[in-house]
Amino acid sequence: MTNQSFQISQSKFLTIREFLHDRSWPTISSIRYYIFFNKYGFADKCVRRIGRKVLIDLLAFDQWLQEQAK
């Protein structure tokens, strides 16, 4: 449990708009598609929901992207 809480404390969570502010890819529509349909396990690995707020974990996104590149 200590290891998991350590990993969460290092994670940086951003809203979808904050996440996409500096990036040209992915687009907002593709992010919504990945979340809604859980395409390639994106929502399970990278998304946290607090009520209606959807947050993306930057560290998990980078890891997910590396896995998809293989």
Please enumerate in sequence order all residues whose Cβ is within 8 A of that of 16, keeping only pairs 6 or more positions apart, or say none. Answer: 28, 31, 32, 54, 56
On the CB side of 15, CA atoms within 13 Å amount to 6
The candidate with the shortest Cα–Cα distance to 44, out of 20, 18, 24, 63, is 63
Give me the pLDDT at residue 10, please: 77
On the CB side of 54, CA atoms within 13 Å amount to 14
Helix (H, G, I), strand (E, B) or coil at 25: coil
Which pTM was predicted? 0.78
- Ordered by start, the domain boundaries in the chain are 14-69
Tokens of 68: 């998809």
The pLDDT profile of the chain, 70 residues, written as one tens digit per residue, is: 555 554 556 789 999 999 999 888 899 999 999 999 998 999 999 999 999 999 999 999 999 999 998 8
